[in-house]
Structure 1
Amino acid sequence: MTAPLSNDLRKRVVLAIEAGESCRSVASRFGVSVSAAVKWSQRYRATGSVAPGKMGGHRKRILEPHRAFIIERINQTSHLTLHGLKDELAARGVKVSHDTVWKFLRREGLSFKKNTVRP
């Protein structure tokens, strides 16, 4: 994913379009795509700003509200598997993959070692 273009360039493009020049001619003059010029002018008309919107972001963790339940189940049952835990979560209405469960456990520092004496 590329970084957004500078606000200075965006402002110059929008000001040229507001002055009456066509989006195509402004885009070729400033070396940007026509769609970018159109979108920037639309954004300016809608919000009054040419600043780019938020890029990316973080997904909220699905299993975080169920942390206490997961830790309790691991402490109660020593023979619990990832798929078994996934099925128990599905019974509670949380549909996740076993990979999601694994990543949660790894992030929390929990493991499924059945024999803690062996290395």
Structure 2
Amino acid sequence: MSRALSIDLRIRVVAAVDGGASHREAAERFGVSAASVSRWRNLQLQQGNVRPGPLGGDRNSHKTEAHADQIMIWLAEHRDGTLFELRSDLAAQGIIISKSALHRFLVRHEQ
């Protein structure tokens, strides 16, 4: 996975743009893309800093984890149940979770 470029570099690039350089000129001078210069400039204007946001990672498991107790109870009651049956029973309760998300949940919880 890629890493965010340093905050020091981002600050210098934005300072060059603030000093009158175009986005393309600043990009060429510092060896970054013009799109990155634009993004960093917008971050500076909107947030007041050029700190990078979080990279990658799981952003959705909390949706499944919110129903962990219900899933674990269902598993205890239906030891031979399938993912499709579990998904169907959850959907009947208004809980919509994909089969793959349920599978990842079971792997995380060693079920």
Give me the TM-score of the superposition, normalised by structure 2.
0.77
Would you say how many aligned residue pairs link Structure 1 and Structure 2? Answer: 110
Q: Helix, strand or coil for the counterpart of 2:85?
A: helix
Distance 1:93 1:22, change over 3 A: same
1:4 pairs with 2:4: yes
Q: 2-side partners of 1:106 and 1:16: how far apart?
A: 49
1:15-34 aligned at under 5 Å gives the runs 15-34=15-34
Match of 1:37 in 2: 37
Deviations 1:1-60 (A, max 9, x none): 421111221111111111112222222122211121222222212222122222224323
Q: Which amino acid aligns with 2:98?
A: S
| Higher helix proportion | 2
Q: Deviations over 1:88-118 (max 9, x none)?
A: 11111122233333332333333xxxxxxxx
Structure 1 stretches lacking a partner, 5+ long: 111-119
2:67 is matched with: 66
After superposition, the Cα gap between the structure-2 partners of 1:30 and 1:94, relative to the gap in structure 1 and judged at 3 Å, is same
Change (3 A) 1:10 1:100: closer
Taking the aligned partners of 1:109 and 1:19, their CA distance within structure 2 comes to 56
Q: Does 1:49 align with 2:49?
A: yes
What is the CA-CA distance between 1:85 and the residue it aligns to?
1.6
Q: Report SS of the residue matched to 1:62.
A: helix
C-alpha distance in structure 2 between counterparts of 1:85 and 1:102, whole Å: 11
The 2-side partners of 1:39 and 1:71 are apart by 43
Segment drifting more, 72-81 vs 41-50: 72-81
- Percent identity between matched residues is 37
RMSD: 2.2
**Structure with larger Rg:** 1
